[in-house]
Amino acid sequence: MQIYKGKSVFGGIAIGKISVYKKDEQLVKRVKIEDADAEMERYTAARNIAAAQLQKLYDKALKEVGEANAAIFEVHQMMLEDEDYNESVENIIHSQMVNAEYAVASTADNFAQMFEAMDDDYMRGRAADVRDISERVITVLAGGAGSGLDSDEPVIIAADDLAPSETVQLDKDKVLSFVTAHGSENSHTAILARTMGIPALIGTGIDLDETVDGKLGIVDGTNGVVYVDPDAELLEEMKKKQQEEQEKKRLLQTLKGKENITLDGQKVMLYANVGNIKDLGIALQNDAGGIGLFRSEFIYLGQDHYPTEEEQFQIYKTVAETMAGRRVIIRTLDIGADKQCDYFELDKEDNPAMGLRAIRICLTRPEIFKTQLRALFRASVYGNINIMYPMIISVDEVRQIKAIVEEVKAELTEQGIEYGNPAQGIMIETPASVMMSRELAEEVDFFSIGTNDLTQYTLAIDRQNSKLDKFFDSHHPAVLRMIQMTVENAHKAGIWCGICGELGADQALTKDFLAMGVDELSVSPGSILPLRKIILETDVEAYKKSKQTK
């Protein structure tokens, strides 16, 4: 048995035959020509055919994965029209008197090397795009039909890397999973893979030869492992896990696409809580209407330095594009308490849960806050991003935030940088914010109740202290009354109110939340469909009456 480890792009388990993806890579020879103008005409004609192919791919992707994800093929068409790219091809043809294939291949190598030398991960990922469009033009020049999948049965595809055009052309009925030896988490291919819901791993270093091709394989997308020629015990274990997944998928098929609306017509938004880009695929697979909580602090926790504006921008942009118009609520950094970053150099505190954390760090270190806000406002151009501020206790804090936001917008305007107009809300997770919720609702676009901290602060119980578990009651009447008060004050001000804490997934309280008028529940992706089932089967008015008679 061979074992390869890589990064997960999309979770799930796939079991089947491995097929090494055969690229129709052209062997480009340097050929002397007599007529440079005629060769340029050959190149122009091939470029036009390639552009037409990309348009067809765009149309196909538009139907399958949405406008935002299909946009890569528009980008590829723009690359074909890039002045620097075309001038390079023309210069090589005329100055060296060589064939168009060689000129395109040389230009592709030069541009790809330029991208690969850049510090930014996203820009390095563009090297694959340059090679993709160049390979397409060379294939047209050589009269080839392009690469493809040669299989009559569903298979696990193994490849060095898959270009976006190759990914979207795959017959999904023939693909169980794909595994690449190389690749980038920020590539457009990764975005498409998550959206298409194909279990996928990148950077596995898998051998692409007869030791793998045609062999039985298992892709464990959750743990980022590929097994080639697995033993009987492992195969049996993975088949059981796969059956459990398939059972969940059957539930998904019966509820997918249904509106979250009660028997008596009350609508609820069901969103997902995620911590990174990889979780987006699971959210989409479980039919989340949007992302109710994107925990941006994980961007900081995974670094040994402050994430730059560009690093954050690319992540937020990817999230927005992947969710293709669905609402994405990104919480500004919530560092502190149980989430510590050494490079923040925070002082040791006796009671960190009540110390310098979340918005308090942002307001006392505005340079860090402004970097994140700049990235968020820039990324909001690419989708439906909302911004949410944690650990608010006063109207004054919200007004300080607004002042910093205006500074950021003024700076972006002055620099000629495009930005959107995202909705801005706050987390209600302190008793102070509950008591001030009427006034706070006049200042923001929405509320999201963080029940984990709200319960902790209301009951004066450290939720990290296991010795206090018997005293910790998430159903405590005081907590439920605070939720009710917050919802009522939000509605009086004309804004919506959701729950993004663990309590939102507590099925014992779903009907109570509906009775309170909660507008949104944001939960772990796996909780979405069970909650939808309860919502679809509930008559809220009848439930209210039944409670009154008890």
List active site positions: 188, 500
What is the rounded distance in angstroms from the CA atom of residue 346 to the CA atom of residue 538? 48
Three-state secondary structure string covering 159-212: ECCCCHHHHHHCCHHHEEEEEECCCCCCCHHHHHHHHHCCCEEECCCCCCCCCC
How far, rounded to the nearest angstrom, does the alpha carbon of residue 269 sit from its chain's CA centroid? 19
Q: List the 2-5 sheet strands across, edge first.
A: 2-5, 225-228, 216-220, 13-20, 155-159, 175-180, 200-202, 7-10
Task: Judge whether 355 and 98 are in contact, CB under 8 Å.
Answer: no
What gap in Å lies between CA 535 and CA 528, rounded to an integer? 10
- Residue 167: Cβ-neighbour burial (10 angstroms; 0-12, 13-18, 19+): buried
Strand partners of residue 10? 200
- The two tokens of residue 176 are 């169980």
| Segment (H or E) for 218 | strand 216-220
Other residues' Cβ atoms within 10 Å of the Cβ of residue 106: 18
Q: Are 39 and 99 in contact (CB under 8 A)?
A: yes
| Cα separation, 198 vs 172, whole angstroms | 8
Provide the total of helices (H) and of strands (E) in the chain, helices listed first.
21, 16
Q: Where are the alpha helices (DSSP H) in 415-474?
A: 431-435, 437-441, 451-459
Q: Which helix (H) or strand (E) holds 300?
A: helix 297-301
Strand 13-20 and strand 200-202: pairing?
unpaired
Count of CB atoms within 10 A of residue 239's CB? Answer: 13
**Structure letter (DSSP) for residue 221:** T
**Residue bearing tokens 């609508």:** 267
Give the β-pairing of 327-331 and 385-389: parallel
Angle among Cα 343, 345, 351 to the nearest 5 degrees reads 130
Which CB contacts under 8 angstroms, 24+ apart, belong to 140-147? 140/46, 140/49, 140/50, 140/53, 141/42, 141/43, 141/46, 141/100, 141/101, 141/104, 142/26, 142/101, 144/24, 144/26, 145/24, 146/24, 147/21, 147/22, 147/23, 147/24, 147/25
Exposure of 36 by Cβ count < 10 A (0-12 exposed, 13-18 middle, 19+ buried)? Answer: middle
Write out the DSSP string of 466-531.
Answer: GGGGGG--TT-HHHHHHHHHHHHHHHHTT-EEEE-SGGGG-TTTHHHHHHHT--EEEE-GGGHHHH
**Residue 150: CB atoms within 10 Å:** 11
Q: Which structure tokens are listed for 348?
A: 């040791």
